[in-house]
């Protein structure tokens, strides 16, 4: 690798790399690691750890952070939450549970329901705002073209991977 043109007069810094841990994201992380601590944020734990280990093998510092997108998707899906609650009796012997255990289970259920309500109401609010934006035929046409372009791009990306 060539010497980097970046100057670091203020001393060590921290750089946050979000998104992909391959391609440009990986190259940026490896380059910036020589100038400070790299914080890797992404969805794929295995790829994050591979990049982190590569950086640390070079004697530099890196931290990997798994982002919470998966948690929001899980908590936003009522079917999954009902499944987890239904699975709970097979994990905990409810016949021997005392007052404290029932209180904890009640709190977990309450937090689950509040979380579901919050996420679902947020989606409802955002859908309402989007509907207000799409009142004119021109706005609908623009939204359709943007969506078609995004789907076409996704299809091209998937086709190019195989």
What size, in residues, is the chain?
A: 162
Q: What percent of the chain has pLDDT over 90?
A: 10
Write out pLDDT tens, residues 32-64.
888 888 888 877 788 888 888 999 998 888 888
Q: Which residue has the higher pLDDT, 71 or 15?
A: 15
Compute the distance between CA of residue 11 and CA of residue 125 in angstroms, rounded to an integer.
45
Burial (0-12, 13-18, 19+ Cβ within 10 Å), 38: buried
Structure-token match 């609908």, residue found:
140
- Residue 100's CB: how many other CB atoms inside 10 A? 8
Helix axes 78-91, 99-133, angle to 10 degrees: 170
Cβ pair 62, 42 in contact under 8 A: no
In the chain, where do the E strands start and end? 13-18, 36-42, 62-66
- Residue 157's CB: how many other CB atoms inside 10 A? 9
Q: Which residue has the higher pLDDT, 71 or 149?
A: 149
Whether 9 has a pLDDT exceeding 70, the answer reads: no
Question: Residue 40 has what pLDDT?
Answer: 86
Query: What mean pLDDT is reported for the chain?
Result: 79
Question: Residue 149 has what pLDDT?
Answer: 93
Helix (H, G, I), strand (E, B) or coil at 2: coil
Task: Name the pLDDT band for 128 (thresholds 50, 70, 90).
Answer: confident
The pLDDT of 102-131, averaged and rounded, is: 82
Q: What percent of the chain has pLDDT over 70?
A: 82
């Amino acid at each position: 690798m060539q010497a980097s043109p970046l100057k670091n007069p203020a001393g060590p810094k921290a750089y946050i790399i979000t998104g992909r841990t391959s391609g440009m994201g990986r190259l940026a992380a490896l380059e910036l690691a020589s100038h400070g601590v790299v914080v890797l944020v992404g969805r794929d734990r295995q790829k994050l750890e591979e990049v982190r280990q590569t950086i640390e093998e070079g004697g530099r510092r890196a931290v990997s952070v798994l982002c919470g997108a998966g948690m929001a998707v899980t908590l936003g899906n009522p079917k999954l939450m009902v499944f987890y609650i239904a699975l709970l009796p097979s994990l905990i012997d409810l016949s021997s549970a005392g007052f404290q255990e029932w209180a904890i289970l009640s709190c977990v259920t309450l937090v689950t329901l509040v979380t579901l309500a919050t996420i679902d109401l947020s989606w409802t609010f955002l859908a309402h705002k989007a509907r207000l934006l799409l009142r004119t035929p021109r706005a609908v046409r623009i939204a359709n073209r943007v969506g078609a372009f995004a789907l076409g791009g996704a299809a091209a990306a998937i086709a190019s991977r195989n």
